Structure 1
Amino acid sequence: MLQANDNLKLVQKFFECYATGDLETMKSEILAEDVSWIIPGHHPLAGVKKGADEIVAYFATIAKANFKAEVITLSASEDHVVDVHRGWGEYGEHQVDMNWVLTYKIENGRIKEVHNFAADQHAADLFFWNVWGTELKPVPERLKNK
C-alpha cells in the first residue's frame, strides 16, 4: 500500500510540474532517464518519445497550444498509476477539450513508461495537425533521413 501511495504522489508531482511549466524538476526528479512516452494518433507529434530530454522537449512544444490538464481521478498499484484527466488547449481558432487516460509504469521511484489514450483520437489528430502541421517538412524531405 505504501508503494501505491508513493506512486500516486509521484504522478501528482508530475501534474504540478506540468501545470507550472517546471520541466527541469520533471526531468530531474520524476522521469526515469530512459523513460518512454507513447503518444497515439496520426499527427505531427504522435509516436514514441524516448528519454527524459525528448519528453521534456515535447512538453515544451505543446505549451505553444496553451495545453492545460485537470486531474479527474488517479488510481495506483505497486508499479502502475492510471490517471483520467481533462486536457484542453487552444491555438488561434483551433481548440481541443476532452478526457485523456494515461497509464504510467513506475520503476525505482520514477516514471518509466507512459501510454496516452485520447477520448476522441480523430479530434486530437485534427487539432495537432492544425497547430503543428505547417511546421513539418514536405514528405520527400522527411523521407530522405530514413
Structure 2
Amino acid sequence: MPHANEEIIHRFFDAYGKRDMDALRDVVAEDVTWNFPGHSTVSGVTRGLPEVIALFDRIGEFRMRADTYVTGVNDDFLVEAQRTYCTAPGSDFEMEYAVLWRFADGKIVNGTHLCADQHTADAFFDGTAR
C-alpha cells in the first residue's frame, strides 16, 4: 500500500494536469516553496502555489518526462531518484535528478530538484546546449 505522501504527490499531478485549483489547494500549502538550483531560466526559489504552477508550466514546455528508479518516504519527506528526459528545439536532455518533497499537515510545503550535472542542466534550460 502506498504511503500517504505518495498519494499526495499523485493527487498533485492529477489536479495539476486537470488545472483543478481546488484539488491543488487540498494537497499544496498556499505558501509552498520550490527550489530549482542553478542559473537557468527555471532556476531559483519559487514561492506560493500560483508561482509553483507557473514553474511546472515552464518546465513542461521542455516536454519533460521521468522514470523513477527508487523512492524513499517517511511522514515528513519523500525523495525520488529519477532519470529525466526533455526535448527542446535542436536539443535533447537526459539526466539523473533527485526530487525531495517536504510535507506538513497532509500538504506539500516544499520541493527541491537536485541534478547530477548542474552546468549541463543550466545550458539545456537556457537553450545553449547543443
**TM-score band, normalised by the shorter chain?**
0.7 to 0.9
Give the structure with the larger helix fraction: 1
* Among candidates 87, 101, 104, match of residue 101 of structure 2: 104
Give the structure with the larger strand fraction: 2
Q: Which of the two has higher C-alpha Rg?
A: 1
- Superposed CA RMSD in Å reads 2.2
Gapped runs of 5+ residues in structure 1? 132-146
Instruction: Decide whether the 8 Å contact of 1:27 with 1:56 is kept in 2.
Output: no
Gapped runs of 5+ residues in structure 2? none
Matched, 1:24 2:20: yes
Q: CA deviation at 1:104?
A: 1.2
Aligned residues: 127
Instruction: Decide whether the 8 Å contact of 2:41 with 2:125 is kept in 1.
Output: yes
Q: How does 1:53-64 map to 2 (within 5 A)?
A: 53-64=50-61
Q: How does 1:106-121 map to 2 (within 5 A)?
A: 106-121=103-118
Partner SS, residue 130 of structure 1: coil
Cα offsets for 1:2-41 (capped at 9, x unmatched): 9x821122224345556xx334366333221110000000
State the distance in 2 between where 1:42 and 1:73 align: 27
Bigger shift: residues 23-32 or 52-61: 23-32
User: 4+ residue stretches of structure 1 with deviation over 4 A?
Assistant: 15-18
Compute the TM-score of the two structures, normalised by the length of structure 2.
0.85
Compute the TM-score of the two structures, normalised by the length of structure 1.
0.76
Bigger shift: residues 121-130 or 7-16: 7-16
